[in-house]
């Protein structure tokens, strides 16, 4: 039995969770049956007698016991109604098309909400919204692109570096909208940004110098230090002949953006190390492939071992989307990992062999450090005496020719400082500091 009010509501909720069954049977065979059900602890609900028919409801958990008792007494019965969560779930399981449609709709909505579809521009005064939208689209943020495919902090820094007309740019995805917030540089700030001197990017000796604009402060063959001003970011309104017959700048200096081609020789050195007895990892030729399916933090292994079967190994992993069309990409990925076995081998060298290997290792490090556009000039090697025993160290020095210039903002030289020599000395001191 149950009471009215809150208890009745709670009982109805429990009945819905567990499920209820409505039975209909002849009233003639229910006298002894009701007594047996009461002794068995079966609760009956909503008992109704109509003519010679009796109906009542029981919990789904008690149905099998009641069914057994009815069949023992050979009492016919009929299930009139099934209600509750278990029957609802059972009916929904049979409608596979509905479930697949719901899952497809949810996946479609998720994908659409993960893409960029529109733009919002804030803070622009000199440049139109269309100009800013076209600017971000140059960096791949097109309509239909996935939001999580971009490193927004790196793009903001790159855009400001490429476009000095902006002080800063902020990119913030909000749902399907990309919010672009900018702060524009004032015209005088833009002009100042375009002005500057050329300074030495490293220590070295000038080997080639061709000045297109600005005031040269060094000449070919000079040794310079990192940060020293090579070409001043200013020019003069006039030239005058001095007592030696050469022309020198005259008049008031004005700011320009220095332009020049300056190459110089630089020394780069590295120390290579090789032990007389070494343990190295070498590939044996054995390998195993693993293929997994990954989506939303879940992983399903399709092929290969669960983890590397080798004690020593290296691995190569490739990943690709199962479905990709233009900027649309399904967030389900196929990852292929190749485990390559390695084994530990001991190598023993003489001092001469160890020295050759140390030199080669130092050369590889120097090769990785070579700036783009630089040219190798000459090499010198020597033995570097280590403190450790059974170890050979070799020092390799490369002389390379590379671009020596780097941009920097410098102040205009003060007029009337004892001629051009005084101006050069002052500017060189400022650059060196």
6-49 pLDDT per residue, tens: 334 445 777 777 788 888 888 777 767 777 777 777 888 888 88
322 or 381, greater pLDDT: 381
pTM: 0.44
Q: Give dist(CA 92, CA 94) in Å, integer.
A: 5
Q: For the chain, what is the mean pLDDT?
A: 80
Which of 73-82, 127-136, 364-373, 413-422 has the weakest average pLDDT?
413-422
Binned at pLDDT 50, 70 and 90, residue 206 comes out as very high
Give the percent of the chain with pLDDT over 90. Answer: 12
* Residue among 310, 261, 308, 257 nearest 281 (CA): 310
Options 3.30.70.260, 3.40.50.2000, 3.30.450.20, 3.40.50.300; which CATH number does 6-91 get? 3.30.70.260
CATH class of 118-191: alpha beta
Among 381, 379, 372, 383, residue whose Cα is nearest residue 399:
379
**Is pLDDT of 150 > 90?**
no
Which residues belong to CATH 3.30.70.260 in the chain? 6-91
Residue ranges, comma separated, of all CATH 3.10.20.310 domains in the chain are 118-191
The two most distant CA atoms of the chain are separated, in Å, by: 140
- Which burial class, exposed, middle or buried, applies to 267 when counting CB atoms under 10 A from its CB (0-12, 13-18, 19+)? middle
Q: Once rounded to an integer, what is the mean pLDDT over residues 152-173? A: 87
Q: Where is average pLDDT lowest: 61-75, 197-211, 299-313? A: 61-75
Q: Residue 207, SS3?
A: strand
Q: What DSSP string describes 288-356?
A: EEEEEEEETTEEEEEES-SS---SEEEEEEEEEES-EETTEE-SEEEEEEEEEEEEEEEEE--HHHHHH
């Amino acid at each position: 039995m149950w009471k009215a009010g809150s208890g009745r509501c709670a009982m109805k909720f429990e009945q819905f969770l567990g499920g209820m069954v409505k039975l209909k049977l002849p009233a003639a065979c229910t006298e002894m049956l009701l007594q047996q059900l009461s002794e068995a602890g079966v609760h009956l609900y909503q008992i109704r007698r109509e003519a010679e028919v009796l109906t009542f409801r029981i919990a789904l958990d008690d149905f099998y016991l009641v069914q057994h008792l009815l069949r023992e007494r050979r009492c016919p019965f009929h299930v009139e109604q099934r209600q509750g969560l278990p029957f609802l779930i059972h009916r929904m399981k049979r409608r596979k098309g509905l479930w697949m449609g719901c899952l497809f709709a949810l996946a479609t909505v998720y994908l659409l909400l993960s893409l960029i579809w529109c733009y919002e521009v804030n803070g622009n005064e000199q440049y139109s919204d269309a100009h800013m939208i076209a600017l971000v689209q140059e960096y791949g943020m097109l309509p239909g692109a996935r939001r999580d495919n971009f490193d927004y902090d790196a793009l903001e820094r790159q855009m400001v570096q490429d476009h000095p007309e902006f002080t800063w740019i902020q990119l913030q995805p909000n749902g399907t909208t990309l919010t672009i917030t900018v702060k524009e540089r004032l015209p005088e700030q833009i002009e100042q940004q375009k002005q500057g001197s050329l300074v030495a990017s490293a220590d070295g000796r000038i080997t080639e110098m061709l000045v297109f604009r600005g005031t040269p402060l060094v000449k070919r063959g000079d040794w310079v230090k990192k940060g020293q001003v090579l070409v001043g970011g200013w020019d003069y309104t006039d030239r005058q002949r001095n007592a030696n017959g050469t022309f020198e700048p005259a008049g008031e200096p004005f700011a320009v953006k220095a332009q020049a081609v300056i190459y110089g020789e630089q020394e780069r050195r590295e120390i290579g190390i090789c032990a007389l007895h070494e343990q190295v990892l070498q590939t044996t030729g054995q390998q195993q492939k693993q293929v997994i399916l990954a989506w939303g933090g879940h992983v399903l292994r399709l092929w290969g071992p669960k983890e590397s079967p080798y004690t020593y190994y290296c691995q190569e992993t490739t990943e690709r989307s199962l479905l990709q069309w233009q900027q649309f990409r399904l967030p389900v990925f196929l990852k292929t990992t190749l485990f390559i076995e390695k084994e530990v081998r001991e190598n023993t060298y003489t001092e001469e062999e160890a020295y050759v290997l140390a030199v080669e290792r130092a050369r590889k490090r120097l090769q990785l450090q070579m700036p783009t556009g630089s040219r190798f000039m000459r090499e010198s090697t020597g033995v570097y005496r280590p403190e450790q025993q059974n170890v050979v160290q070799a020092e390799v020095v490369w002389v390379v020719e590379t671009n020596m210039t780097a941009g920097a903002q410098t102040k205009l030289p003060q007029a009337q400082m004892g001629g051009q020599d005084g101006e050069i000395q002052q500017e060189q001191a400022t650059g060196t500091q």
